Structure 1
Amino acid sequence: MDIRCGTAGWTDKTLIACKRFYPPGSSSAEARLRFYASQFPLVEVDSAYYAMPSASNAQLWTERTPEGFTFNFKAFRLFTGHQTSPDVLPKDIAMALPEGITGPRKKNVYYRDIPAEILDELWRRYLEALEPLRASGRLGAVLFQFAPWITRAPDGLALVEECRARMADYMMAAEFRNQSWFDDQHAPWTLDFLRERSLVHVIVDAPPDVTNRVHTIWEATHPQLAMVRLHGRNTQAWSATGAASAADRFDYDYSDDELTGLAPSIRAIATRAGRTHVIFNNCFEDQGQRNARTLMSILGASASPL
């Protein structure tokens, strides 16, 4: 079994501020990434959700990590149907937006608002940013975490299909948040939908008693990769409005018993795909890093070495 564990990001402000993960002297971006890559074989580039990534950064990441290290990328928020402020778009793109979709009363734009030629350019730049990692063999999957309002309705299916077409040459993983995808009636259909399109089904661990998440379905839909993302089980913070940051929303420290309970399912799913990625998204302080280390210890020989 090839099971690789890592965290969603390595530069969260609370992680750096807590001073428990990085050793003294790791004050530069290069030092932090080099240290992280000495501890884990996998990381998720969470920042690519909030702003368009750059090829220059990807080239630096390639140079600062060893061969065999893997970067999963999170898709830019506009591509996954989320509300997106024009302020986070490249300046020339924001300036090229038609006046009708921006203005003082419109704080956000959506994928459906953007003219086709501008979408083409955004996709081109996004894929260009992935190229240094792909060329070096360090690019894993690109994660599309679709907005909670993206359902199985025709417009939702059309968005997934367009993303799949744009990512035809890449490994694409899909994490849904709307329960319509994996309720009792539609889960088999959705799994078949993913398999037929060679999309990786993302298995989620999240608070069990909230509605804006899908059910946890332990299935693999791609022969090469299975993906498990652990968001923590903080019910109170999951749906809180006005959360200061993702770190606040996913503030949760998995107990050793909880991680031990997850290990058999992770081992089982790892027998159904060539490789399994386990990402801890509980990004408050060093919780994700500590939990990832603990899980690697529990998995023992099943976890891939650094």
Structure 2
Amino acid sequence: MRVYIGCGGYSNEDWAAPNLIYEGVRKDDFLATYAQHFDAVELNSSFYAIPGLKAFEGMARKSGGQVRFAVKLNKAFTHERTPTEADFDRMLQSPEPLREAGVMGPYLAQFPYSFHRTADNRKYLGLLTERFAGHELAVELRHASWDKPEVREGMAEYGVIWVSPDYPPVGGMPEPQVHVTGDVGYLRLHGRNKGSWWEGQSAAERHDYLYNRAEMDEWAEKIALVNDDLSELYVFFENTTKGHALKNIPMLREALNARGVPVRAPDPRDFGDGRLL
């Protein structure tokens, strides 16, 4: 199993704080610097506006072909659920430079908690699956009504990746387990900030959580159990607030390697100046 580990987004300005990876780095160089530390990233900007071809060309170039990109579907597909034909065309075609560079990961459909398992929502999810047929599509379903074996069996039948989550223990959401519905796995670690998950005013507040070593060991154990079942696993840390993810990723790498799951970190020799902050 090849494990790709990265963060939810790379343009985190609070990472410019002292002793974090963007200290003294120009914003235009954030992605190039990110690529020196991580081999995957979840693209958040596409949720708000679908980038064009030139933007994706720039991402492939600045990351030096060293980073796999999971591209989040625009909110028109998951929150508004009224995508137009133009939205489908742009979402499917614009990331072509990533495919040409061999760094395109799965699309991510991140549905809100309000997206319950109803007949209409099941029908909509089926339609979305059909439109993205031929592409890897990972689906995060936050309401517990979807957390059933029969749902994952259906996703496996249609080649859809179940997003395994780690949420705060607030109830009403899927359990923190690694589930396999195909050859590729996808794990999103949101942190366990129970106090601000519902009441937080921003994503930064909700994801303000630093995992401890025991919690990283716990996830390494769960990942090791599916080592023989997957060819690739994407692990994304969403707790980017205050650089928490930057501290947790080395913990998880160490825990996985200790359990016989090899994880590669970027080699500084692959980059021009060889500098790792």
TM-score (norm 1): 0.81
1:238 to 197, 200, 204: 197
Q: Classify the secondary structure of the residue corresponding to 1:202.
A: strand
Show the counterpart of 1:163. 128
Residues 1:35 and 2:5 are matched in the alignment:
no
Q: Classify the secondary structure of the residue corresponding to 1:282.
A: coil
Q: Classify the secondary structure of the residue corresponding to 2:241.
A: coil
Show the counterpart of 1:6. 6
Assess if the C-alpha contact under 8 Å between 1:263 and 1:299 holds in 2. yes
Q: After superposition, what is the alpha-carbon deviation per residue over 1:14-36, rounded to whole angstroms, capped at 9, x for unaligned?
A: 233x243225441132x211111
Q: After superposition, what is the alpha-carbon deviation per residue over 1:144-199, rounded to whole angstroms, capped at 9, x for unaligned?
A: 111212222121112211211221121000110111111xxxx1111111101100
Which residues of 2 match residues 183-194 of structure 1 at below 5 A? 187-194=148-155
Alpha-carbon separation, structure 2, partners of 1:4 and 1:156 = 31
Q: What 5-or-longer segments of structure 2 have no aligned partner?
A: 267-277
Residues 1:219 and 2:179 are matched in the alignment:
yes
Shift of 1:278: 0.8
Which residues of 2 match residues 165-184 of structure 1 at below 5 A? 165-182=130-147
CA RMSD in angstroms, aligned pairs only = 1.7
What letter corresponds to residue 34 of structure 1 in structure 2?
A
Residues 1:264 and 2:221 are matched in the alignment:
yes
Assess if the C-alpha contact under 8 Å between 1:43 and 1:70 holds in 2. yes
Q: After superposition, what is the alpha-carbon deviation per residue over 1:34-59, rounded to whole angstroms, capped at 9, x for unaligned?
A: 11111111111022222222222110
Alpha-carbon separation, structure 2, partners of 1:297 and 1:72 = 23
1:111 to 78, 81, 87: 81
Identical-residue share of aligned pairs (%): 26
Going by fraction, where is helix more abundant, 1 or 2? 1
What letter corresponds to residue 244 of structure 2 in structure 1?
Q
Residues 1:293 and 2:266 are matched in the alignment:
no
The size of the alignment, in residue pairs, is 263
Q: Classify the secondary structure of the residue corresponding to 1:6.
A: strand
Show the counterpart of 1:44. 42
Q: Which has the higher contact order (CA 8 A, sep 6+)?
A: 1
Alpha-carbon separation, structure 2, partners of 1:304 and 1:199 = 26
Shift of 1:247: 1.2
Show the counterpart of 2:209. 252
Assess if the C-alpha contact under 8 Å between 1:62 and 1:133 holds in 2. yes
Residues 1:141 and 2:106 are matched in the alignment:
yes
Show the counterpart of 1:61. 59
